[in-house]
A and B are shown apart, each in its own frame.
Chain A
Amino acid sequence: DTGVSQNPRHKITKRGQNVTFRCDPISEHNRLYWYRQTLGQGPEFLTYFQNEAQLEKSRLLSDRFSAERPKGSFSTLEIQRTEQGDSAMYLCASSPISYEQYFGPGTRLTVT
């Protein structure tokens, strides 16, 4: 079990630039989730996939955010025209059919 991996671990970008993060879930897990965590807060749900289908999106996920999971394996989260308010830790999790979710180490985004 190699666990959930995320890349990059850290990203510093200038306001207005686009960024893309990658998540590789545990191989046999068919559900994949994205959460955002700001300082001093718990993770907040952004979106989730079952296999390649994106089944739910939070209203936190503005039009500048898009997520994909082609072929039901890895997933990418893209943020276009980044804003300073996008600075946060972006966490990916995966789960089997049951409800327990296993989290990756996160990608910390800093928008300057």
Chain B
Amino acid sequence: AQSVTQPDIHITVSEGASLELRCNYSYGATPYLFWYVQSPGQGLQLLLKYFSGDTLVQGIKGFEAEFKRSQSSFNLRKPSVHWSDAAEYFCAVGARGSNDYKLSFGAGTTVTVRA
């Protein structure tokens, strides 16, 4: 079964500074990978996804993520953070090539943006 680890529970970043959120996965093959963002009391919004091809994927709101097979990682980055980026971020993994369509999520990283 697949699993996800997000090592950072909470990150504080200054507005305008860069942001990187870490995600490590465990899966026997190359999985499908996702980043979602959740604002307080809301559902999850898909930021970006990796299925195959270029290992650097672009998403919405200026986010990007890089898949590194050798490190089993899929870290999320943003060059310049805005106050509206304060939220909780979840990395998720899906099994490839099976009838198992569920996603397994990490515990999330809370991002605080200071002025």
Chain A contacts to B: CB under 8 angstroms: 4, 6, 31, 33, 40-45, 48, 55-56, 58, 91, 93, 95, 98-106, 108
Contact = CB atoms under 8 A, between A and B. Distances in A.
Given A40-B107, A42-B106, A99-B32, A105 B43 contact: yes
Contacts of A55: 99
Given A102-B46, A106-B42, A42 B102 contact: no
B63 interface: no
Contacts of A6: 43
B108 A42 contact: yes
Contacts of B4: 42
B34 A43 contact: no
The 6 closest A-B pairs by CB, nearest first: A42-B105, A45-B102, A103-B43, A103-B44, A105-B43, A99-B32
Contacts, number: 60
A104 B103 contact: no
Nearest to B91: A42
B67 interface: no
A99 B90 CA distance: 16
B43 A104 contact: yes
A101 B43 contact: no
Interface in B84-101: 90, 92, 94, 99-101
14 contacts: A6-B43, A41-B108, A42-B107, A45-B102, A45-B103, A48-B101, A56-B100, A56-B101, A91-B43, A99-B32, A99-B51, A101-B46, A102-B46, A103-B46
Nearest to B90: A42
B102 A48 contact: yes
Nearest to A95: B101
Nearest to A43: B105
A100 to B, nearest CB: 5
A99 B45 contact: no
B83 to A, nearest CB: 22
B104 interface: yes
A108 B107 CA distance: 18
B58 to A, nearest CB: 15
B43 A100 contact: no
